[in-house]
Amino acid sequence: MTGTRHFLATLALFGAIACAFASPASAWYQRYVTSALWYAGSSANSAWNSHTFNAVGFTACCGGSPYMGTKYGRTDGTSTSWMWSNTGSIFDSRTIAYGTAYCGASGANLYPVRVDFCDTGNT
């Protein structure tokens, strides 16, 4: 009987530790944009959650050297600064405990850009 109680107590202890360390949204992933043609200033955002990355793949389909950017929005309405690239990809490795991931085409792009994907998650 004592052994059973000891086993249950140990099990509860490990369970409590596991709960304490588990993230409220661990290992989630969302592709929030797929195959879109974006003109200057277009953007989209993901579901609200915790994020450890925000990645974009894009193609200068229609000429020029268009920029795509990433940032995170917070619940208080503020956001991180945009991070921009014109290489055809961008991987934002900043993290946010709770917020929404954005990807966007620069408002100064002269030509449309083909957005292959915008991915985010907590993996």
Partner 1 sequence: MKPDWRVVKAAVALAVLTAAITTAASALGRGGDQATPTLKPKPHVDIESLATKPGVPTDPKEREWFLRKEVVVLSANGLITVAQAQRALREIKRTGTLGGDYAPSTFSVGRLTSLPPQARVPAEVARFVAHVGELTGSAPADANSVRLLRRNLGKGHGDVYGLESRAGTPCFILTGYGGVCVAGGSAAARSGLAFVVGGGDDGLPGVFVGLAADDLRRVELLIDGSNVPVSLEGNVAFAELPAGARSGAVTTRRAGGQISSVQLPDLKG
Choose which of 60, 101, 103, 115 interacts with partner 1 (CB under 8 A). Answer: 60
68 contacts 41 by C-beta, under 8 angstroms = no
Can you tell me the distance from the alpha carbon of 116 to that of 67, in angstroms, rounded to the nearest whole number? 14
Q: Is 86 in the site for partner 1 (CB under 8 A)?
A: yes
Q: Is 110 in the site for partner 1 (CB under 8 A)?
A: yes
Residues in the chain: 123
106 contacts 114 by C-beta, under 8 angstroms = no
Can you tell me the distance from the alpha carbon of 107 to that of 42, in angstroms, rounded to the nearest whole number? 8
Q: How far is the CB of 11 from partner 1 (least distance, A)?
A: 30
* 46 vs 109 by CB, closer to partner 1: 109
Q: How far is the CB of 13 from partner 1 (least distance, A)?
A: 27
Choose which of 26, 91, 97, 98 interacts with partner 1 (CB under 8 A). Answer: 91
The amino acid sitting at 65 is S
Can you tell me the distance from the alpha carbon of 24 to that of 10, in angstroms, rounded to the nearest whole number? 23
Q: How far is the CB of 9 from partner 1 (least distance, A)?
A: 34
Q: Is 106 in the site for partner 1 (CB under 8 A)?
A: yes
Start-to-end CA span in the chain (Å): 42
Q: What is the contact surface with partner 1 in residues (CB under 8 A)?
A: 40, 52-53, 55, 57, 59-60, 63-67, 69-70, 80-95, 106-110, 117, 119, 123
